[in-house]
Structure 1
Amino acid sequence: MLVESGNTAAAGDRAHAHDGAPKIALAAPRWPARVLFIESRSAPGHPVDSFETHGFEIHGYRDAIGALLAARSAEPAAIVAPTDMVNVDFLSFIEAMAASSDVPVIVGLATHENATELAYQAIARGARSILALPCRAEQLIAAVRACGIRMEPSARPLRVGELILDPQAFKVSIGDATVTLTPREFLLVHCLMRASPRVVGVEELASALAVHDDGSVAATRVLVTRVRKKFETAAPESSHLLETVRGIGYRINDG
């Protein structure tokens, strides 16, 4: 997802006017963890497709303005800032982020002249690590984890009957069969497994999934249907695992 910037002048002023501003202590990163990735001019692109499968979400921005504003509302785990970012001075951006939030900034080392010097200056001003651009998914994951970010570090694998969910590996399996899920689908299964054997009301489930969609009951019902089909594709005998309790909601069965 590429997000167009908003008011460049106003947001640019915010990037510089951080002296004396109160520091925002953000809550624990939302799960799956969200990484804001500002695209580089000299090394464009980001590994959005493969990154999702590791339990992280990546949100791309064409310049620094959108990322700067989103950092206050998106509860990101980290921000990747290229040394050749557009519309905002790179070092000013680093200083602004270090002064106004606890979100770690990863320096995206672009391919332009003086990129290395800028990267080291950024580390001295509060950036947490350096990532060479363009990068592969595993390189970006390593850079995020180098900042101390882990997915649900205290979470243990969940098991209900033959259904197993591992939050650390972002993996769901039925017996020996792996079920490939999107972050929204994974979160749905996680919510139901944590509640099992309780029936989870459809409104409650919709609210838990609202970080990924419009939070509507209709969208939640569609998602449940999609997950059930994926269960049955991975293990044809698993149709009983995700049960619909008519008029109430859904639950994961262990039998």
Structure 2
Amino acid sequence: MRLLIIEDDREAVAYLVKAFREAGHVADHAADGLDGYALAREGAYDVLIVDRMLPKLDGLSLIRSLREQAVATPVLILSALGQVDDRVKGLRAGGDDYLPKPYAFSELLARAEVLARRGGIASGTAEPTAYRVGELELDRLSHRVHRAGREVALQPREFRLLEYLMRHAGQVVTRTMLLEHVWDYHFDPQTNVIDVHVSRLRAKLDKGFPQALIHTVRGAGYMIRADEPRAP
């Protein structure tokens, strides 16, 4: 899930960006309404999280402008104004959900995931909730992975890496693709971070199994595939 958080509270933004990334999602940030409006129009986001009180362009005006421009990305409004009339105004402005402050991140995450699924279904681009490659299964909703019925415990970054590989099963995934979609880097940090994580993921997936699933494509990147067993 790729989110845009439009919020001017630096501490709140730092917390949300970190929490969403730890949950395996990509989170971008805009500090005022005008920047948020520009990013929301140009970027491909699954969900917009918009604070109601923003500098330069308030949250409700931002949402109205997006809807006037036929931007249909689901919007979750965050606000310290939590009375019924406030929520109604937010929804009538074009918001899809309204969460009063203070809130629990677990609830915010669940609401954002629901909006992302609804948005995907409405646009006909909904991603599957599970992936399967041979005997390997990944459930995006429960964040659980099994190989041949045995659960494989993964860290959030490992889960996100595996999800991206499985989404492109049978295709070569380049280093640049992984940096941009798993690490959210738009440059090469000149580290072996990808090699290290792929190595750890391989060790967890292949432990106790004779067949490797993640393959290195020399000079290109990585590929996940389930090779047919060799004939005796």
TM-score, normalising length: structure 2: 0.69
**How many positions carry a matched residue from both structures?**
213
2: CA distance between counterparts of 1:146 and 1:245?
37
Partner of 1:164: 137
- Aligned-pair distance for 1:40? 5.6
Structure 1 position 99, deviation (Å): 1.0
> 1:208: how far off?
7.0
- After superposition, give the CA deviation of every residue in 1:54-97 in whole Å (9 maximum; x if it has no partner): 45333233322322111122211222222222221343222112
**Partner residue, 1:102:** 72
Matching of residue 86 in structure 1 with residue 59 in structure 2: no
Partner of 2:165: 189
Q: How much does 1:130 deviate?
A: 0.7
Q: CA RMSD in A?
A: 3.7
Percent sequence identity over matched residues?
A: 20
Q: Which amino acid aligns with 2:194?
A: L
Q: Which runs of 5+ in 2 are unaligned?
A: none
Relative contact order higher in (CA < 8 Å, ≥ 6 apart): 1
Structure 1 counterpart of 2:97, one-letter code: S
The 2-side partners of 1:115 and 1:38 are apart by: 21
Once the two structures are TM-superposed, the CA of residue 121 in structure 1 deviates from its matched residue by 1.8
Matches within 5 A, 1:170-181: 170-174=143-147, 175-181=150-156
Matches within 5 A, 1:71-220: 71-100=40-69, 101-110=71-80, 117-144=85-112, 145-146=114-115, 148-149=118-119, 153=126, 155=128, 157-174=130-147, 175-182=150-157, 185-192=161-168, 194-195=169-170, 200=172, 202=174, 206-207=176-177, 210-211=180-181, 212-214=184-186
The Cα shift of 1:154 comes to 5.2
Compute the displacement of 1:161 (Å): 4.5
| Residue 20 of structure 2 corresponds to residue 51 of structure 1 | yes
